[in-house]
Structures are given as C-alpha cells and as structure tokens.
Amino acid sequence: VARERGILYLLDACQSVGHLQVDVDEIGCDMLAAAGRKYLRGPRGTGILYVRKSLLAQMDICALDQYGAPLAREGEYVKRNDARVFEMWEFSTAGKAGLAR
C-alpha cells in the first residue's frame, strides 16, 4: 500500500532479526534496520541497514565523507552506488568482524 502511494517503508527489525527469519522481499519493505547487539549477538555499536537497490540511486545522502564519496579530482566527489555510501567517518573494524562471524 505504501509503495503504491510513493511512501517509503522503513522497518525497525531490532527485536526480530536473528530471532526470527526475516525476508525483505516477502515483507515488501524499502529499508530495514537492526541492531547487531541483540539477537545477532554482535558487538555494541554494530548493526545492519538494508536499502532496496532500486531506491539507493534515488537517495540524497545528507552527509558524505571520503569513504562514501571518494575525491575524483580537486573539489569533485563521486558518490558510491552501493552500501558503502552509508559508511561514514570512523568505523570499528573489530566490531564489523565481530558482527560478521
């Protein structure tokens, strides 16, 4: 219903991912967010964000850095077209490894 009206559907799945089977296609959500520390048993400060691929190109990211939009030449940044566009500033390599296990 939301997509038919052009409304984005973000699902907060913090209490279900890792505890229940979650299928974004079956749910029909545009975006899904979940904490890594709950049922995924990951380190604090980690989590996941799913964004429907067709939506990613349309999104206007309000804050970019050299990771999400590398410098192509002086004063010109190129926004990544994948999930790395959401990775900003510093991140915990150990935390990411702990969530990936």
3: DSSP letter: G
Query: Of 9-23, 25-39, 45-59, 83-97, which gets the smallest average pLDDT?
Result: 83-97
For 78-88, write each residue's pLDDT tens digit. Answer: 888 887 888 77
Cross-strand bridge partners of residue 21: none
Q: What would the DSSP string read from start to end of 44-101?
A: TT-EEEEE-HHHHTT---S---TTTS-EEETTEE---SSGGGG--S---HHHHHHHH-
Q: What is the pLDDT of residue 24?
A: 96
CATH 1.10.260.40 corresponds to the domain 3-100: no
| Cβ pair 85, 69 in contact under 8 A | yes
How do the domains of the chain map onto residue ranges?
3-100
